[in-house]
Structure formats: C-alpha cells, structure tokens
Amino acid sequence: SGESGAGKTESTKLLLQHIMSLCKSNSQLEQQILQVNPLLEAFGNAQTVMNDNSSRFGKYIQLRFQKNTVQGAKLSEYLLEKSRVVQQDTGERNFHIFYYMFAGLSSEQKEMYGLLDPSLYRYISGRFGTQEVAEHWKRKYREVCNALDMVGFQEQEQVDMQAILAGVLSLGNVTFEPEESNGSVKVSEASQGWLKAAAVSHKKSSLCVVCPALLRSPAVSCCCSLCADARDSIAKVAYGRVFGWIVCKINELLAENVDPEVELKEIGILDIFGFENFAVNRFEQLCINLANEQLQHFFNHHIFQLEQAAYKEEGLPWETITFNNNEPILNLLLAKPLGLLSLLDEQSAFPQATDKTFVDKLNSSFKGNSHFQTARGRVLGFSIIHYAGKVQYAARGFLEKNRDTVPASVRGLFINSVTPLLIPLHIHHEPRPTLAELMLWLDGLLIFLCPCQHSLMVLMERMYSANPHFVRCIKPNSQKEPGVLDNQVVLLQLRYNGLLETIRIRRDGFSWRPSFEEFAER
C-alpha cells in the first residue's frame, strides 16, 4: 500500500521476480507469470498528475506452490476505472494501449482499423507526445504484441481486440443535434463519418459498437446529453469487456495442472490503487480512498490491536502504544443505514434524486461530524478528512456512476454483436447491484468485487486465515523526480501511515516468537 506513485506496482514486480528466482527451476510457467505484466499495464495503467504509470485497477495475484515450485497462478482484478476511457482531467491521459497503438501500428493497419491522426480523437483529448515519447510507445506496443502471443491470443482475436479499441475512439467523436422537423435528436451530419468508422468492417471481421436505435432511424427520441451518455456507456462497457477478456486468458494460461487432491501452498499479493488527492476528485477517487482506509484499518488491526492483545494475554509488562484509529472515518463511510454509501444507495434508488439532493442529505446527516465538511459557496461537493488528509470531492456524477446502468438498447447491442468478445459471458435479467453494494465490509478490509469475478468470500477467508505481511511504499517527492528525497513529504507519510508507532512497537515489543518446543529444546 501507499500513495499513488509510491512504487506499489514496481515493488510487486520485484517481489514476483524475487519469488521466482528463489524457486530456481526457471520453468516456462514462472517466465509466463513475469511476462503478463506488460499486458496488464498497457490496458490497466495510465498517466495521472501523480504518476506516469498509475494502476487504474486493483489486482490480487495468487501463486500456488508444491514442494517449493510454482504450479500455477491466478489473477483477480477489481474496479477498473472505466470512466477514464471517456474523460481525463488536465495533465492526464487515457489508458496506455491507445497511445501504443497509434505509435506501433503500420499505416496499412491504421487504415484497416479506420484510425486517423491521433489529435482528432476526443477520448484522448488530442494529446499525443514528442517523437521521443512516440518511440517509447512503439517499443511498448511491440512488448504488448509479444505478450498477447505468449498468453495465447490467436491472430484473429488480436485483430478483433484492436478493432474494438479503434471503434471506441471513433465512437467518442460521434455528436448529436436536434432534428428540426420533429423536435427529436439525431447523429450530427459532421460526425456521420465517425459513426461509420465506429462500426468497423473489413475482410476478416465485422464489428458494430453503435446503438441499433442510431442505425435504424436518423432521429433519436431523447435529448442530446442522454445520447452522449449512451455513447459513453458503450465505450466503457466495450473497454471493460476487452480488459476482462485479457484477464480470463491470462488465468487460462497460468492455471495449475495438478491432481485436485494435492494440497497446494499459496502466496497472495494484493496490489491496490494508491491514495489519491487531485485538483478535482470524483466518485472513483472516493472508492480508491475508501479502499486505502480499509487497508490502513487492516494494518492497524494486525500491527497494534492483535499484537498488544497478545502481550496482555501473556501477562507481560507493557505500556500501551496509542495509534491513529481510523474507525470513525470508516463508520462515516460504511455504517448502515446512515453511512455515506448507504445514503448514496438510497438516493440512487429514487428516480427523482439528483447529485444535489444527495449532497443535501449528506450535509444534514453528518452535521457536526469531525471527519466531514460541507463545501463552501455554491460548489456541489463535500470534503472527507481521511487518515491521509483532507480530500474535497466533486459530487457531480456520483448517482449515475453508482447506478452504473447500461441502456437496454445498448445491452441488446452487445448480446447481438457479431464479435464474440462483446457478447457477455452470462446474460442476466436481474437488476445489477450498485457499486456501493458491491463493497463488502468484513472486519476491516475492503475488497471491490464486480459480478462474475473471483468469489469474494473465498478471497476474504484466505486473507484472514493467512499470515499477512505489509509492504508500505513511501513516495520520495511530489515532482516524480528520481534520486530526490523530500524530508517533509516522507515524514508526512510516515506519520499518517502510523509507521513511527510501528517502529516503536517493533523496537519495544517481542519480535522473536519461538514455540514452546523450540524453546525447551534450545
């Protein structure tokens, strides 16, 4: 754990390399486990103002061993930041893969996918980069292609995948305008070409990522903003399907091939998004920061509460060490029925509710709470005093993102798609739970779970039955500069992470714990 840009993902890669090197068998499987990283980073990482290679999803890696040899691995991914596909703030970029494609595809391939100059695309904000950066992206694109081959993607699957990504970019340029004759809305004349490019068609595959309603009739009976929302929903769902597909293929490749009766040992590594505080913080930042609050509570529980309880049980002379307990913040966010997420779910269930009614509800419910502050002036938002500091959240879009709904016509589009990748693995007609409902609070640790993913209860049981080790990553400076240690930036993190108290309990406590048998024998 640690702030965004503190080095969590790099530390995870180093830890994996170290474990593989200790195995000393150099099997093909061990190399494959290391080689899937470029693929995950290309599709799941992006440049933010805090980090040039920021993980925009959480991952849990399970390594399974038999006689000190890796027999298999499994990857679970949590809460991919799909909203980044359609919107990025100043100084930020979309997911890496879009830029790698522009730099790495040949002119013939770009023509096949209908890709034009990158500066024309709204979803990547017209930002590309210098020639030096483009060369770096070109090398990265080759790495991605090699990783796709290694993971086992067929050539046609790779073509389909890139056709979807190109279609997503073209779809972002589709705009809408009023139909003068009947007062409805239609695709603007200026973006008809983008609409055709979004429905990519070539000799080997045919892909449609546009709403059937838009194709059947020149007019759409809804306002322009609703059409734009539906367009963005299609883009986000399509990208999420591609990412989920990649993870499934990786798990197929890395699955263990052993007798199911054989008991395997396991090491699990949880690499989750870091604490974030941007100029503008949205629903995604609240989810990310809530996860970090939970990890901090999990840390406190193991390092301070369980440790000192053991000393007390043994009757040891011990002066209690106090620590910054963040439980009141978690209660503010997660309590039922009056925690922030419960109120968000409640408001999301009301068709007439708006982001403003949600904020009004928060202001009245948390008046006087020392960890909550109302926004000043006419700003639609609120502030939370997190364990790592105060963060102001812009409330616009909270209800829509929590509902995470996809229009029925768009669902039909994916179900009827000619590209197998876009057809959902399981088609359910029950209403989807909201994102807030998908967060489970269990004795201090939060894990995000999307439908049809790794069983949450199995994951939680494993984490609580295991022996946890905490790797605390410290960000050396706020300028993303190598070799620069800013004492104040480091000290602030040591304080809010509780690491100064941790050093004290490790120094004054009892670090060597032999069993009675070991002690008696010695």
Residue listed under structure tokens 């993303």: 480
Question: At which residue do the structure tokens 């996918």 appear?
Answer: 113
Q: Across 235-302, where does the E strand assignment appear?
A: 265-271
**pLDDT of the residue at 415:** 64
pLDDT at site 443:
32
3-state secondary structure labels for all residues of 413-456: HHHCCCCHHHCCCCCCCCCCCCCHHHEEEECCEEEECCCCCCCH
Look at residue 262 in the predicted model and tell me its pLDDT: 84
Q: What is the pLDDT of residue 58?
A: 86
Across the range 26-34, mean pLDDT stands at 83
Given a cut of 70, whether residue 220 has pLDDT beyond it is: no
315 part of the active site:
no
What average pLDDT score do residues 48-74 get?
90
> Is residue 207 scored above 50 in pLDDT?
no
- Quick: pLDDT tens for 357-375: 999 999 999 999 999 999 9
Residue 414 CB: number of other CB atoms within 10 A?
20
Asked if residue 436 lies in contact with residue 337, where contact means CB atoms within 8 angstroms, the answer is no
Instruction: For residues 475 and 472, give the distance between their C-alpha atoms in angstroms, rounded to a whole number.
Output: 10
Confidence category of residue 196, pLDDT binned at 50, 70, 90 = confident
The more confidently predicted of residues 10 and 224 is 10
Average pLDDT, stretch 239-267?
89
Q: How many CB atoms lie within 10 A of CB 400?
A: 14
- The arithmetic mean of pLDDT across residues 459-485, rounded, is 84
Strand partners of residue 220:
185
Our answer to whether residue 276 is catalytic in this structure is yes
pLDDT at 414 (0 to 100): 65
The pLDDT assigned to 436 comes to 43
Q: Which helix (H) or strand (E) holds 246?
A: helix 224-254
Q: Is 9 a known active-site residue?
A: yes
**Binding-site residue positions:** 2-9
What pLDDT, in 10s, does the model give residues 75-100? 988 889 999 999 998 889 999 999 99
Q: How many CA atoms lie within 13 A of 57 on its CB side?
A: 26
Confidence of residue 350 (pLDDT cuts 50, 70, 90): very high
Catalytic position from the list 41, 77, 276, 284: 276
In sequence order, which residues have a C-beta less than 8 Å from that of residue 313 and are 6 or more positions away? none
Binding-site residue set for ATP: 2-9
Sign, CA dihedral 211-216-222-224, equals positive
Question: Which amino acid, 138?
Answer: K
Is 4 assigned a catalytic role?
Answer: yes
Residue-wise pLDDT tens digits, 152-190: 889 998 998 999 999 999 999 999 888 777 667 788 889
For the whole model, what pTM was predicted?
A: 0.83
Q: Model confidence over 378-410: pLDDT tens digits?
A: 899 999 999 999 999 999 999 988 887 666 666
What SS3 state is found at 187? strand
Check residue 433 and give its pLDDT: 39
pLDDT of residue 217: 43
Residue 285 has pLDDT above 90, yes or no: yes
Residue 288 has pLDDT above 90, yes or no: no
What percentage of the chain carries pLDDT values higher than 90? Answer: 50
The overall average pLDDT reported for the chain is: 83
Q: Which of 5, 72, 381, 444 is labelled catalytic?
A: 5
52 or 221: which carries more pLDDT confidence? 52
Q: What is the reported pLDDT for 422? A: 66
Task: Give me the DSSP letters along 64-129.
Answer: EEETTEEEEEEEEEE---GGGGT---TT--SBHHHHHHHHHS-HHHHHHHT---GGG-GGGTT---
Residues in contact with 386: Cβ distance below 8 Å, sequence separation at least 6, in sequence order: 275, 289, 292, 293, 326, 329
- Residue 387's pLDDT is 94
Look up 1 and say whether it is catalytic.
no
pLDDT in tens, 289-331: 988 888 888 888 888 998 899 999 989 999 998 899 999 999 9
CA–CA dist 413, 208 (Å, integer): 8
Map out the domains of the chain with their CATH numbers: 8-165+235-274+405-449 (no CATH), 276-404+450-521 (1.20.58.530)
Report the range of poorest mean pLDDT among 36-40, 140-144, 262-266.
Answer: 262-266
Residue 465 appears among annotated catalytic residues = no
Residue 460 buriedness (CB in 10 A; 0-12 / 13-18 / 19+):
middle
- Which pLDDT tens digit goes with each residue over 451-469? 433 344 455 566 667 788 9
Q: Are β-strands 69-78 and 185-187 bridged in parallel, bridged antiparallel, or unpaired? A: unpaired
Nearest Cα to 298, choosing from 55, 472, 168, 508?
472
